[in-house]
Amino acid sequence: MMHSTNHQASHLTPPAIQIDQYNSRYGVDPINRHLVQGYTEMVTDRIDDGWTGNLVTFLFSQLPGTRSAVINQMKDEIQRVYSTLVTRVHRKPRTASPDDLPVMIAAVDLRVYKRERSSLPTVLCNGGLHFHAVLLIPPRSRLEGSVKEHFGSNEGLYRGRRRVVTTIHVEPLTGDHERVVDYVLKTVLRGSVSYDEGVLLLPRASQELASGYPPGRDFTQ
């Protein structure tokens, strides 16, 4: 089942908790903080340039294998969803300008705790593993209506024939972008999952993202 909602997630980092307090509370590695700050700047710059942002949650049916194998299968499904979406945003994505392609910053998350369940679907499969993503849509887009409406009216298309994806939950970004990016990447910030294992950036090629990606990472790999 595919879900969407108008209200912004209430489970994001409270405004009163500043970055230094957050870092101290969760023992955030400065390298990880620098990496996440790069993503925050990417999101902020694009929204300032007229892009629209959404917080997307992906839930999945039960998948076989180790944790790493399950995460990789989830990444493959998110790649499929993105590949389907990009052709709805731009008629010829392979030859498109970087400014005409959507950007998705996705990261694996662990079990959803009770305090978060008021605004997100409950995770019952895969030991609680699921994905959150920030999805940025460029101003020049073929989409009619909002991203929430698009996913809601194309549920079968995005779930795919295998129905591995069970839920795509969409919330338009209306609040502090820094808090949203921290929330999406919190498992990396807190060291629960490594960057290489837990993060998926789309499109993959660095040249498609121009200069808007965090320093020190090679996204062509």
User: What does the pLDDT look like over 121-130, one tens digit per residue?
Assistant: 566 789 999 9
Range of the domain at 72: 20-201
pLDDT of residue 104: 97
pLDDT at position 27, please?
75
pLDDT recorded at residue 12: 54
Task: Return the CATH number at 113.
Answer: 3.30.70
Residue 26 placed within a domain: yes
Q: Is residue 10 part of a domain?
A: no
Residue 214 lies in a domain: no
| Residue with tokens 């990016």, as numbered in its chain | 181
Q: What local confidence, expressed as pLDDT, does residue 121 receive? A: 57
CA–CA separation, 181 vs 168, rounded Å?
18
Check residue 78 and give its pLDDT: 97
Low-confidence ranges of the chain (pLDDT < 50): 4-11, 13-16, 114-118, 206-221
For residue 142, which of 196, 84, 220, 186 has the smallest C-alpha distance? Answer: 84
The answer to whether residue 66 is domain-embedded is yes
- Residue 6 domain flag: no
**Token output for 109:** 């998350």
DSSP 36-95: HHHHHHHHHHHHHTT-EEEEEEEEE----S-HHHHHHHHHHHHHHHHHHHHHHH-S-GGG
| 7 is a domain residue | no
Terminal Cα-to-Cα distance of the chain (whole angstroms): 33
Asked if the structure places residue 213 within a domain, the reply is: no
